Amino acid sequence: MQKIVEFRITLFLIDFYSLIRSNYLGRHVCRYLSATPEMPSCDFKPTPYKGKPKSEITKIRGENLTPALLTYYKNHILINQGYMQWLFDEEGRRFLDLFGGIVTVSVGHCHPKVVQALDEQNRLLWHTTNIYLHPKIHEYAEKLISKFPADSNLKVVYFVNSGSDANDLAVLMARMYTKRFDIISLRNAYHGASPYLMGLTSLSSWRYQVPSGFGMHQAVNPDVYKGPWGGSNCRDSPVQTDRQCDCSSGSCEAGDNYVEQLEDLIRHSCPKEGIAAFFAESIQGVGGTVQFPKNYLSRAFDLVRSKGGVCISDEVQTGFGRTGTHYWNFQGHGVTPDIVTMAKGIGNGFPLAAVVTTPEIAATMGKALHFNTYGGNPLSCAVGSSVLDVIEEDNCQQISHDIGTHLLEELSKLRDQFDYVGDVRGKGLMIGVELVADKKTKKPLDAEKVTKIWEDCKDMGVLIGKGGLHGNVLRIKPPMCITKEDADFSIAVLRKSLEANL
């Protein structure tokens, strides 16, 4: 009799749970019926916070810092300390950082080896500028260049301070070398927000109403999820879009069609004498982790070179092993650029960036004085050199491949389960999850609903970025030291948030 009663109670609970899920109130009751996923353990003990109260920090931010600052979350987080994949607020609460300081913390917050390298250099020499010899810039330059394909002619490095600095310099180099002016980027691209680069960046949310973009043009973005062509066979990714693909076996007609659009742009909008350069991220970052068809960049590079231009790969977010299969993601496209720009993960959060190019292109910069006061300073070079060592010693590239593939495969299950999840894409630990109101039309999910899902993840201890033109793409780009346990916790948190907001 007792077993029969227990069985009936179980059936009742199952029926009750199913019933309340079927209505609005029930869906929110369900949110509390299932336990919050348990965060993986961490032995690190944060230093107690000793700064100004959060209320005072918020007041100063509103009154004394630029109003253009974007502050994440309704209940702002005051970060006190970071350790590897973890961040701690002023109360000691721990968060799993899946955004890595906007794809900048590559090997882990305050990685002990990087901290040691900075500390040792800090006690030895801060700054002289490069009018004098100092060992760190030379040691680091040689080590960084060794990470490029041996058969490439990418041999000369310019050190600067940020990704915008690097892309600014690449534009100047291209125009100086080719003696041409017109430069092409892609719609949905982000290459910086300086006045010079605003013309390369093709996201309206980053454009001011000022003259910009002289001689700069944007081609149709080769987006196989939302663009006019592409589908389920087109990406270099463990997860393909569920959109039907017209490409025949062993070929990608979508890439060919997008290259024809690029050629049409050059034919109509650029001088007959040719162009200076073509700029492309190997996976678009701020634009929402958009991946191109497999053969697009290769054919685009061939076309650009036939028009006299140089090819520039923006590896600011995708470099240093983040995509898993290659150290630089342009290698995954089977291309060798003429100029490569890099920043963010290069210094694990320390201000550092670089432009690497050929001796022939670099030589044009000797026609006038060119100088960057802090570029290649002893501190940044010590940090950058240490980051390269840690990527190798900690096997970060392999972690990106293994954990990133696991995340993508688990996220694809959420796409199949939830109507709000329209697309999952990426490679390694460069991942995007696009939230939509309708899977057929791909209409972006309402900003309020996106924010609710995003805020719920934060409340359960997971920090995720947002991107895309409409802010409806969850950006997952954690430090390359996360574990499978961290990944599974993240998936559980995101699933619970999606369930609570059905």
Q: Is 61 left (phi over 0), alpha (psi -120 to 50) or beta?
A: alpha
**Tokens 């590559």 -> residue:** 106
On whether the CB atoms of residues 349 and 390 are closer than 8 A, the answer is no
Pair 279, 183: CB distance under 8 Å: yes
Task: Kindly state the tokens that stand for 329.
Answer: 């993601």
Sign of CA dihedral 135, 136, 140, 141: negative
Q: Which of 297, 322, 288, 329 is nearest to 422 (CA)?
A: 288
Main-chain dihedrals φ then ψ at residue 423, nearest 5 degrees: -150, 145
Q: 353: which strand partners? A: 160
CA distance 275 to 185: 12
Beta bridge partners of 311: 278
Please say if the pLDDT value at position 27 is more than 70: no
Q: What is the mean pLDDT of the chain?
A: 92
CA angle 196, 201, 206 (to 5 degrees): 95
pLDDT over 50 (residue 32) = no
- 370 pLDDT band, cuts 50/70/90, is confident
Q: What percent of the chain has pLDDT over 70?
A: 93
- Crossing angle of helices 112-122/378-393, nearest 10°? 160
Q: In the block, which residue shows the tokens 């490569």?
A: 340
The band of 253, judged by pLDDT with boundaries at 50, 70 and 90, is: confident
Task: Please give the Cα distance from 142 to 131 (Å, whole number).
Answer: 19
What value does the CA radius of gyration of the chain take, rounded to a whole number of Å? 24
Instruction: Please state the rounded mean pLDDT for residues 79-92.
Output: 98
Nearest residue to 393 via CA among 111, 68, 38, 127: 111
Alpha-carbon distances, residue 153 vs 157, 170, 326 (angstroms): 12, 16, 18
pLDDT band, very low/low/confident/very high, at 196 (cuts 50, 70, 90) = confident
Q: Name the token pair of 31.
A: 């949110």
287-296: pLDDT as tens digits: 999 999 989 9
Band the pLDDT of 249: cuts 50, 70, 90: low
Domain spanning 34-103+396-500: CATH superfamily: Aspartate Aminotransferase, domain 1 (3.90.1150.10)
What confidence category does residue 121 fall into, taking pLDDT thresholds of 50, 70 and 90? very high
What phi, psi does 349 have (nearest 5°)?
Answer: 110, -15
DSSP 166-227: HHHHHHHHHHHHH----EEEETT-----STTGGGT---GGG--SS---TTEEEEPP--TTTS
pLDDT recorded at residue 17: 46
> Residue 487 is encoded by which pair of tokens?
């990944």
pLDDT of residue 13 exceeding 70: no
Tell the residue number behind the tokens 């701690």, with chain if given. Answer: 88
What's the count of helices (H) and strands (E) in the chain, helices before strands?
14, 16
Q: Does the pLDDT at position 146 exceed 70? A: yes
How far apart CA 316 and CA 167 sit, in angstroms, is: 9
Cβ(122)–Cβ(379) under 8 Å? yes
Res. 24: pLDDT tops 50: no
Is 50 exceeded by the pLDDT of residue 31? no
pLDDT at 115 over 80: yes
Numbered ranges of CATH 3.90.1150.10 in the chain: 34-103+396-500
**CATH 3.40.640.10 domain extents, the chain:** 126-385
Of the two residues 197 and 10, the one the predictor is more confident about is 197
pLDDT for residue 70:
85
| pLDDT score of 3 more than 70 | no
Tell me the backbone φ, ψ of residue 14, rounded to 5 degrees. -60, -45
Contact (CB, 8 A) for 85 and 109: yes
Residue 14: per-residue pLDDT: 46
pLDDT, position 2? 53
pLDDT number for residue 142:
98
State yes or no: pLDDT of 9 exceeds 70.
no
Q: What percent of the chain has pLDDT over 90?
A: 82
pLDDT at 25: 45
**pTM of the entire predicted model:** 0.91
Q: For 41, which DSSP code?
A: P
What whole-number distance in Å separates Cα of residue 296 and Cα of residue 257? 9
User: What is the reported pLDDT for 8?
Assistant: 53
Rounded CA separation 435/60 (Å): 34
Bigger pLDDT: 114 or 32? Answer: 114
293: left (phi over 0), alpha (psi -120 to 50) or beta: beta
Q: How confident is the model at residue 212 (pLDDT cuts 50, 70, 90)?
A: confident
Q: Which amino acid is at 163?
A: G
Range 396-409 average pLDDT: 98
Contact 322, 106 (CB under 8 A): yes
Q: What are phi and psi of 120, to 5 degrees?
A: -65, -45
CB-based contacts of 20, cutoff 8 Å, min separation 6: 26, 27, 29, 30
Q: Report pLDDT for 213.
A: 87
Q: Given this model, what pLDDT does residue 478 score?
A: 98
Residue with tokens 């630029």: 66
Q: Helices (DSSP H) in 65-180: which residue ranges? A: 100-103, 112-122, 135-145, 163-178
What's the pLDDT tens digit per position in 435-475? 999 999 999 999 999 999 999 999 999 999 999 999 999 99
Is the pLDDT at 136 greater than 50? The verdict is: yes
Residue 81 banded pLDDT, cuts 50, 70, 90: very high
Residue 181 predicted with pLDDT over 60: yes
- CATH fold for the domain made of 126-385: Aspartate Aminotransferase; domain 2 (3.40.640)
